[in-house]
Structure 1
Amino acid sequence: MQNTQPNGSAPKAQIIAVMGSAFNPPTLGHADVIAQLDAVADAIWLVPAFAHAWGKAMAPYAERCAMLAAFVADLQNPKLSMQAVEQEIARDGPVYSIDLLEYLERHKPTHSRLLLVLGPDNQAAFEQFHRAADIQARWACFFAQERLAVRSTALRAALQAGEPIDGFTTPGVARYLADHPLYRAG
């Protein structure tokens, strides 16, 4: 028997926002994008990059996942979860957005649709994405606005300079970074 709404119609598709990022480390800028998604998505999946498509140097994957777990706990948003799945997709090269979306499409809940989330930097470079036209043909995209210019690069620079990181990230991530010298100048 098919699950239906009280009026007999088919159930409304759940919108799952997919936000892939290096999260190197997660910042309040990421939190602002999540706030923008809250009104348009039923679920928000944060996916840490395992093998970055553009070859970005990143802290170890396990460390970034630990920081992202702290970030998710700090935000206390019931829609929010970390999906550390890229290591299951990775082969010998990068994991492209289309690889991630195809994987998630096979594993998403029934009656749901994926929404690819892109920040302003990726919006400008979207045409350079691997198989960008295929992504646009199969999935909707959400282009987030940069309302809070707090980037991971600036947070790493503050850590390297030994400066305070208040205003860059959440308390749990700040505690993690205090205990793990990932970005400090050595």
Structure 2
Amino acid sequence: MNAPAPRLPRIGLLGGSFDPVHCAHLALARLALARLELDELRWLPVGHAWQKARVLTAAVHRCAMVGLAIADEPRFVIDRREVERDGPTYTIDTLRELQDRTEADWFLVIGQDQYGALDSWRDWQAVVRRVTLAVAGRAGSVPSPAPALAALPHRVVELPLPPMPLSSTEIRARAARGEPLDGLVPPAVARYIAQHHLYTS
């Protein structure tokens, strides 16, 4: 009788500008760990965000804030490959690099907004062939794919994230006004923002 195949590691990928990382990011990451039974979740701060018009805070600060936010969970790992790569950041390039090195069950953790616009990504068809999409659905609604994505068979699981009306845009605005960030970002991140005078100009 043949022995069962060994279980592959289950690895999640959570990308974003994290400018700054906030409590909703952490809630989604923890939900993904539990629901997907992940062995590891890699946080991928974006390098050159080709779909964003504004200039991001320096990568050294964004990576430092992520490191502070995830320090208490050993299954969270910061992966700096996208900030170290020259040129625009494309998810497909990251997936190819990772999957060339590690055999695993890969999960791409995204929000409903990204799911609804995924057909605007570079080589998006190749992206969905390589991963299971783990989509944070809005409360009470089923995640809706982009029309072109709906027509393409793909693996998807829903992550039912409770409503958390947090945005990095509002947090940056509050920091610029000198208002407290209690409950919006982890305390260590709030201290880092204050110490380095981020978002004040």
- Offset of residue 116 of structure 1: 1.0
TM-score by length of 2: 0.80
* Unmatched tracts of structure 2, length 5 or more: 138-160
Contact 2:95–2:130 under 8 Å retained in 1? no
SS in 1 for 2:179: coil
Structure 1 residue runs of 4+, over 6 Å off?
A: none
1:11-22 correspondence to structure 2 within 5 Å: 11-22=6-17
1: distance between equivalents of 2:107 and 2:50? 19
Q: CA deviation at 1:169?
A: 0.5
Q: Does structure 1 residue 51 correspond to structure 2 residue 48?
A: yes
Match of 2:64 among 63, 66, 78: 66
Aligned counterpart, 2:90: 96
Conservation of the 8 A alpha-carbon contact between 1:18 and 1:115: yes
RMSD (CA atoms) = 1.6
CA positional deviation for 1:45: 0.4
User: Which residue pairs with 2:171 in the alignment?
Assistant: 155
Q: Deviations over 1:106-155 (max 9, x none)?
A: 233x4x22211111221221111111111112221111235222121111
Q: Residue 81 of structure 1: SS of its match in structure 2? A: strand
CA contact (8 A) 2:106 2:130 kept: no
Distance 2:98 2:9 in 1: 14
Shift of 1:35: 1.9
Of 97-106 and 140-149, more deviation after overlay is shown by: 140-149
TM-score (norm 1): 0.86
Q: Which runs of 5+ in 1 are unaligned?
A: 1-6
**1:94 CA drift (Å):** 0.7
Q: Which has the higher contact order (CA 8 A, sep 6+)?
A: 1
Instruction: For 1:154-173, list aligned pairs within 5 A.
Output: 154-173=170-189
Partner residue, 2:155: none
Percent identity of paired positions between Structure 1 and Structure 2: 29
Inter-partner Cα distance in structure 2 for 1:115 and 1:167: 28
Count of residues paired in the alignment: 173
Does residue 77 of structure 1 match 2:77? no
For 1:24, which of 19, 24, 41 is the aligned residue? 19
